[in-house]
Amino acid sequence: MAKIKLTKNEQKKQKDALKRFQRYLPTLMLKKQQLQLVIRQVEQKVVEKEAEIASMEGRLSEWIGVFGETEAWESQGGDSPFSGDALGSLIRIKNLRRGRGNIAGVDIPVFDGLDYEPVDYDLFLSPLWVDQALVLLKEAAALNAEIAVLREQKDLLGRELKVTTQRVNLFEKVKIPETRESIRKIGIYLGDQQTAAVVRGKMAKSKVVKVS
């Protein structure tokens, strides 16, 4: 705690500072709560998107199991028609579209979609389920891209939450108690000075009376 001047001017300065701290603290606490809520919402979105991807993988695996038409794709080097190079080679992302948003004063990226490059494949040699599989793969790629953006959001919001929490703790546990203590010390000192001045005044008056 820095040394303070035991003066009326310093007392006013400390009282003004206390008012500022008490005014800022509720705003910071509200921001902290808002950030915590949004981070939980983002985490829940990630869980939901990952569940959608798992569902897509399950659907595609069922088709592959039913039709048993993996040979043509495995010959191209892919171990798994869903995650390997075979079907994956037919999905080429051209561009990730991202917008910007703002939550509690934090600028965050927002997922707007994926653009794909056109890829040709032999319609006669390809299994019948490939067209629908590619639709699912594109949806899965978009979901993965969205998850990546959501995690970036979470990281940015998490950093802001850390800074905001530090400020809340600074005001709540350091600045406000220190300022109150400074005001108390100045008040005691000024009170003692005033009492001493009154005593000196009475003593001086008593001496004057005796002399007269």
Domain extents for the chain?
A: 9-199
According to the model, what pLDDT value does residue 193 have?
Answer: 85
Which class does domain 9-199 fall in?
mainly alpha
Strands, E assignment, the chain? 93-103, 106-116
pLDDT (average), residues 9-34 = 95
Euclidean distance between CA atoms 134 and 89, whole angstroms: 10
Q: What is the mean pLDDT of the chain?
A: 83
Euclidean distance between CA atoms 79 and 82, whole angstroms: 9
Q: How many CB atoms lie within 10 A of CB 148?
A: 14
Q: Return the H-helix or E-strand segment holding 1.
A: none
Is residue 100 very low, low, confident or very high in pLDDT (cuts 50, 70, 90)? very high
pLDDT exceeds cutoff 90 at 70: no
According to the model, what pLDDT value does residue 65 have?
Answer: 60
pLDDT (average), residues 150-154 = 97
According to the model, what pLDDT value does residue 128 have?
Answer: 66
